[in-house]
Every structure is written in structure tokens, then in C-alpha cells.
Amino acid sequence: MANNIHITFLGTSSAVPTETRNHSSILINYQEENILIDCGEGTQRQLRIKKLNPGKITRILITHLHGDHIYGLPGLFQTLSINNYKKVLYIYGPKGTKKLIENIFNIFIHGERIKVEVKEVNGKFFENEDFILQSYPLEHDTPCNGYIFLEKNKLRINKDKLKKLNLPNSPEIKKLIEGKNIKIDKKLIKYKELTFKEKGRKISFIFDTRLCPNMKKLAKDSNLSIIESTFLEDSSKGAALAKEYGHLTAKQAATIAKKENVKELILTHLSQRYEHKEKVILDEAKKVFNNTKLAHDLMTVKI
């Protein structure tokens, strides 16, 4: 049985927060990992409302250095310092991230600092036995990364076939999912005959970008793609404004999802101009890609 991936939308607005939408931030929970993507102003309070412990954050992925995506970092670092955060906090981002984090600590953090390891990334930058993290540069008016969370394929035991063999309980059986043949009561059990491959899930995150080729690489075959939709294409000059300011329309996000075989699309990073009338964004996207949802603050999805 696959481990659930929980994704919590802590903030879903764009440059200006609204009554109902905080600045950008998303938390991914997978096994013991809690990965924060961006940390807009007010992220800590959103964590508290959801009863999520900031001390359990293991990694931070920064998409770019605009204020609505990073102004929550000084407060988060101070909270972790005050609460005796003992782990190494791994921080990844585009060019300029190292200088940003250094400046935050020099200006805002007094007394003992938490331990951080900061990397400016492009391509695959993390891998363990369970998942991979990748980044691709996007086209904004400042260096900007899109990210992929890619779960690795796993071998799973076919329990019906195992039951038919009527084998005694043995710790050796666990070796089958490691791709190893085993012997029980002198009988050879081949892992290929009792296991199947469970394909890993892919989640892509595409924020603050105009249309560009790397969007396709990020979105391709995603189980879930979370894409910004700052503008409405059907409005006056929507597509032109999106291109000028380095953003996407709902229609553009949906078109990418459809072309790149995305299973589910969630739209986020909504402009304040659509406060209380967000349905126009969703409607525009669903005309192109029906399996689209609109994110709202404190929403959690499970895949």
C-alpha cells in the first residue's frame, strides 16, 4: 500500500493578500518529510490554524525571491530558533537564494541560529530511496524555479499469489520487495513471480511564469500539477498582461495540463481582482481541462 501524500495550501493569493487568501505557500507531507514550497507572509499563522508544527518542516523549496513568496521566512526562522530546532533545515532555490538566506539571518535573527544548508539548484537536486526532487527554470522577471516531487517506483507483493503458496510466516518474505529471490523450506521463491511494480506518483509545481518550454517538462504525466493562474484570458488583454508580467492565464494552465497528460490540475496564485468571483477562473480552465480544481487557503488534498 502506497504512503499517502498530503498537500496543504497555506496561501493561494498572488502579490496582494485578500480577506480569504494568504500569500503563497504549500506544504507537502510524505512519510517523515514535510516540504514547504515558498513561505509568504503569514505562513506561520496558517500552519497554526491547521495545527501543523513548523518544527517538523524538513526542507524549503523557494520558487523565486519576490516578497509574496519569501516574506514569511524571517519569522519562521526565528520561531524555529526559539523552539530549539535541532535538525539541519535544507533550503533550495534559484540563483540569489544563498545571499537571501544569509541576509535574513544577519538582519533578523539574533542569538543562536538554526543550522541550514542552502543550495541554488537546477535539475535533480535530491534523491533518497523513496523520492526525487527536481527543478527547472521558468520565465519570470527574476530567476524562478518550477519543482517536481517524484515518488520512485516500488515493488509490491501480490498478496493473492502469496496466499496460494501457503508459506509459513518468515522475515525472508520482505526481501521480495527488494528484488531478491528467497528460499523457504528449501523452496526457491522468485520475486518476479510474486511482485508487481507500483508506479510512483509525480506532483509538479509551476508558479510565476509566462508560457515557456520548461512548463511541459514539469507538467508531463503528472498525477497532480499545481499551476498559477493569475489572469483570466477571456478578460480584456488577459493574455497580453500575463505575458508582460510573467504570469499565466487559467486557460494557459489548463492547456498545458491537457497537452502534457496531467491527471488532475489545481489552480492557485489568484489575483486580488478575482476576490469573491473566483469561479470565473475555474470556469475558464474547465472549458479546456475538466479535471481542474481551484485551491483555497487551508485546503488539503491527498493523493
Provide the b/e sequence for 240-259 (b: ≥16 CB within 10 Å).
Answer: ebbbeebbbbbbbbbbbbbe
**Are 109 and 82 within 8 A, CB to CB?**
no
Strand 187-189 with 195-198, pairing: unpaired
Alpha-helical runs (H) found in 85-155:
97-108
Select from 62, 58, 33 the least CA-distant residue to 116.
58
Distances (CA, A) of 244 to 65, 139, 231, 232, 272: 18, 11, 11, 14, 18
Which member of 38, 68, 208, 297 is catalytic?
A: 68
- As a whole number of angstroms, the distance between CA 248 and CA 231 comes to 6
Q: What is the DSSP string of 76-100?
A: HHHHHHHTT--SEEEEEESTTHHHH
Q: In the numeric block, which cell numbers belong to residue 300?
A: 488539503
Annotated catalytic residue 38: no
**Are 292 and 265 within 8 A, CB to CB?**
yes
The catalytic residue positions are: 68
